[in-house]
Structure 1
Amino acid sequence: MNAALLHRLRAELDERRATTGLRRDLVVSGAQGPALGVGGEWLVNFASNDYLGLAGDPEVLDAARRALRETGLGVAAGRVLCGTRAVHGELEAGIAELVGAEDAVLYTSCFDANLGLFDALLGPQDVVLSDALNHASLIDGIRLSRARRRVFAHGDLDELERHLTEFAGARHRLIVTDGVFSMDGDVAALPRLCELAERHDAVLVVDDSHATGVLGTTGGGTAEHFGLKGRVDVLTGTLGKALGGAAGGFVAGDRALVETLRQVSRPYIFTNAMAPALAGAALAAIRIARRRPDLRERLAANTAWLRRALHDLGYEVPPGEHPIIPVMLRGGTLALDVAAALRREGVLAFALSHPVVPAGEERIRVQVSAAHTAGQLERAAAAFGRARAVLAGS
């Protein structure tokens, strides 16, 4: 390999190792669920997005096995060739019904969905107005388009409105936001966002990855949570979190929007179709999520209990209701130290530091599941209690 490139990469890795450290993949064992095997021991798992506990659900797994027997492991072709199976259309119809859209189109991940959306719809005469804390996939997708871009401060809808007025002459103005922000667990102010979009004749795009299946009476997401189902122009989301935890993403909206993406969206056209077994599993997960509101009720109860317990222990926990619970441990390696102490106590939760979050905003992100038992929640609270010794020594 080229010596100059290798020299540069090694120097950059050395610098990263000395400053933020190098990331290492954690190898786990066992099915995804409220506990995972790590290094020969079982840890209570507060690090996954399996909000409804469906990743290991027998009905979901049976659907995957059935599709595997009938169609094989993968399709070895894109949707526009011979990669489309009946289950893909069934899943797209199920997604559209869940989120209240006319139609939906599948991608292999929500990252791909967001990469393929903006370039397919926009040109240099258009403007995208993006929340500063939007997910990386939205940021990258917007960058790939030829549209002009403006970033507004997180949740600052007064600044957003000023940008809407500033670019009133643009062909299209897109407001882009996460429905639930993944680092803080806060929910977008969708009622006012809808009002602004409608009043300024703008297009509202919401990535609902952390809300689909989780919020709303049937799991329809952020819009259903606010009683605004059907008023968001474009929804993107994932099947890799609450809806089975496997893989896959989607864009949902008007039929003309979805058909346009099928015709010109590059990640849809130029990659293999989603594995039928994963599509079958996700379809089963959607059906379970819709018919079992008790899963969301249990998730909400688990979340409220742990939020209250952590607050009572003296931790800084921003207010909220989503099962993403940020435990703020600002400065230096404090979050890393507490996460290490938790792991020694048999609890898996990850510290987030710069550049994932801004310097000075370090935290441990705790993610609650409907599958967590009362005993597992109590174990986590007790571990956080004993970890306060780390704080006392800081």
Structure 2
Amino acid sequence: MKFDGWLSYRLDKTKEAGLNRKVRTMETAPLPLMTIDGEKQLVFASNNYLGLANDKRLVNAAETVLHEFGVGSSGSRLITGHTNWHQKLEDKISQFKRTEETLLFSSGYLANVGVLSSLPEKGDVILSDELNHASIIDGCRLSKANTLIYNHVDMDDLEEKLKATESCQRRFIVTDGVFSMDGTIAPLDKIMSLAKRYHAFVIVDDAHATGVLGENGRGTSEYFGVYPDVIIGTLSKAIGTEGGFVCGSKVLIDFLLNHARTFIFQTSLPPAICAASYTAFEIIKHSKDKRQLLHSNVKKIKTSLQEMGYTVKGDDTPIIPVIIGDTHKTVMFAKRLLEKGIYAPAIRPPTIPLGESRIRLTVTADHSLKEIDYLLKSFNLIGKELNMIK
């Protein structure tokens, strides 16, 4: 079989299973109402939780530095890609996260892979939550350590695996702070307690919690009042820009700077993005209004959908998974939403387990009550049309 023929055969199998994907073109700025493939759509699928991706203060900060430094960084951080704006942003994040130092990566994905492929050594064990993000999974695969999967946020199972690995050289517990497909919050206080009892290290990916959880938006560490050994984050969610970071001790950051291949060999973020990100952290630090509005929107949507009879997963986070179950039915539901001018794509295997296909809603602080009411009305109508609710 020729190369393209072989790939076409595999794609046909994907299509038969209802798992075929395609990209859609966003033709306007990231707002609740956007033009997608030429059609106006109300978007409930964005990670722009605080609405900062199109905030004029961030745009102005980026524009100013864009004229000073140009559009690209021209190299890796260790060659020509380190500017005063990279340093300023790292210092700002350290202050925000209350850690000694921070190291910027070009994406959160690269930060996870860089940490997990460089920290654990042969003879070590990584204990990873079964619903951890793909970047954590890939980092574990690249690590020289063995990886054991524990049941999602199941502290009894985690403890059993900690007991079973006591003879190992070192143990690393790695978890998302907020899980991107289920919207659940990792019980970081209990994880830290187990780590202390069994002499393990804790690595937390706080991508979906930074700017969202905790009194000041500092993430799951602030939410639970604990301090993990390694905090990983992203700038592409509530911060509204792009990039990743790792926070921790000075020694940790110095180690990663010298050993994390995804830092050493990757072109650095453009200085303009660093300036916009710096401004975002300033806004988050001095204002709680958007975060409070965000949580109010989350509560309204979740409560209303549950009252309609939908199965809704997740904790108090902007990620609201509405479980449909059957893959084809989920795709049909998303199509009906699109017909009503609502963009909330179907989430299907292999992203989530078989039988748990869902509409994964994400809400932002910028969604109006009118837009939320329209979403809820649409869910009510479609659910009845498809005999999912009464």
- TM-score in same-fold range (> 0.5): yes
CA–CA separation in structure 2 for the residues paired with 1:380 and 1:133: 28
Q: CA deviation at 1:283?
A: 0.9
| Matched residue, 1:150 | 148
For 1:232, the aligned partner's letter is P
For 1:83, the aligned partner's letter is G
CA–CA separation in structure 2 for the residues paired with 1:139 and 1:385: 37
| Matched residue, 1:122 | 120
| Matched residue, 2:231 | 235
Contact 2:174 2:204 in 1 (8 A): yes
| Matched residue, 1:249 | 244
Instruction: Please give the root-mean-square deviation of Cα atoms over the aligned residues, in Å.
Output: 1.4
Name the SS of the counterpart of 2:325 in structure 1.
coil
CA–CA separation in structure 1 for the residues paired with 2:132 and 2:314: 20
Aligned with 2:284 (options 268, 283, 289): 289
Name the SS of the counterpart of 1:320 in structure 2.
coil
Contact 1:34 1:371 in 2 (8 A): yes
Name the SS of the counterpart of 2:236 in structure 1.
coil
Q: CA deviation at 1:393?
A: 8.0
After TM superposition, list the pairs within 5 Å mapping 1:315-326 onto structure 2. 315-318=310-313, 320-326=315-321
| Matched residue, 1:187 | 185
After TM superposition, list the pairs within 5 Å mapping 1:272-351 onto structure 2. 272-318=267-313, 320-351=315-346
Contact 1:206 1:234 in 2 (8 A): yes
Contact 1:329 1:361 in 2 (8 A): yes
CA–CA separation in structure 2 for the residues paired with 1:390 and 1:315: 14
CA–CA separation in structure 2 for the residues paired with 1:333 and 1:286: 41
Q: Could you list the per-position Cα deviations for residues 15-36 of structure 1 after superposition, in whole angstroms to 9, with x for gaps in the alignment?
A: 2122234211011111012111
Contact 2:120 2:126 in 1 (8 A): no
Q: CA deviation at 1:313?
A: 2.1
Contact 2:47 2:362 in 1 (8 A): yes
CA–CA separation in structure 2 for the residues paired with 1:332 and 1:289: 38
Q: Could you list the per-position Cα deviations for residues 211-244 of structure 1 after superposition, in whole angstroms to 9, with x for gaps in the alignment?
A: 001101111001111222xx11101110001001
Q: Could you list the per-position Cα deviations for residues 89-116 of structure 1 after superposition, in whole angstroms to 9, with x for gaps in the alignment?
A: 1111111121221111011101001111
2:60 aligned with 1:65: no
CA–CA separation in structure 2 for the residues paired with 1:165 and 1:317: 34
CA–CA separation in structure 1 for the residues paired with 2:369 and 2:19: 35
Q: CA deviation at 1:197?
A: 0.8
Contact 1:247 1:278 in 2 (8 A): yes
Q: CA deviation at 1:330?
A: 1.3
Name the SS of the counterpart of 1:392 in structure 2.
coil
Aligned with 1:357 (options 349, 352, 355): 352
For 1:248, the aligned partner's letter is G
CA–CA separation in structure 1 for the residues paired with 2:70 and 2:316: 41
Name the SS of the counterpart of 2:386 in structure 1.
helix
After TM superposition, list the pairs within 5 Å mapping 1:1-394 onto structure 2. 4-228=2-226, 231-244=227-240, 246-318=241-313, 320-392=315-387
Query: Gaps (5+ residues) in structure 2?
Result: none
TM-score normalised by the chain length of structure 2: 0.97
CA–CA separation in structure 1 for the residues paired with 2:388 and 2:342: 21
Q: Which moved more, 1:279-288 or 1:380-389?
A: 380-389
Give the length in aligned residue pairs. Answer: 389
Q: Residues 393, 175 of structure 1: CA spacing in aligned structure 2 closer, same or farther, 3 A cutoff?
A: closer
Give identity over the alignment, percent: 38
Runs of 4+ off more than 4 Å: none
Query: Gaps (5+ residues) in structure 1?
Result: none
